[in-house]
Amino acid sequence: MMPAKPNSIEALERSAGQAAGFLRTLAHAGRLRIVCALMDGELSASGLARHAGLAAPALSQQAMILESSGLIARRRDGRSVMYRLSSERARDLAMLLYRMFCDTPPTKGVRR
């Protein structure tokens, strides 16, 4: 029989609420597509909408939720708004989802 890790249950109990909130934020197909589209790097709002398959208003609404949760960040570049992942947790989860549900993982390059 394997010995139990003494702090594993306590650690889970302490972070369960945070983990549940993180999963709730990503429990939306549009938000998941945004995170996945940003795996390869920063994208303009129009490029992100195209890659995520979302209309501009839907992208704006869902990106605001992800941004307020600290998972993505945006910046202005002239007249464009650029989005990027700002959380390693979001990147790690997207990679896990790719391994579980997709045929091939994303490339490591940067899309423009």
Report pLDDT digits (tens) over 28-79. Answer: 999 999 998 998 899 999 999 999 999 999 999 999 999 999 999 999 999 9
Torsion of CA 70, 76, 80, 86, to 10 degrees: -20
What is the pLDDT at residue 33?
93
Q: Taking 80 as the threshold, does the pLDDT of residue 83 lie above it?
A: yes
54 - beta bridge partners? none
Provide the CATH topology of domain 16-101.
Answer: Arc Repressor Mutant, subunit A (1.10.10)
Model's pTM, two decimal places?
0.77
Whether the CB-CB separation of 85 and 38 falls below 8 Å is answered with yes
Q: Taking 50 as the threshold, does the pLDDT of residue 111 lie above it?
A: no
Cα 95 versus chain centre, distance: 10
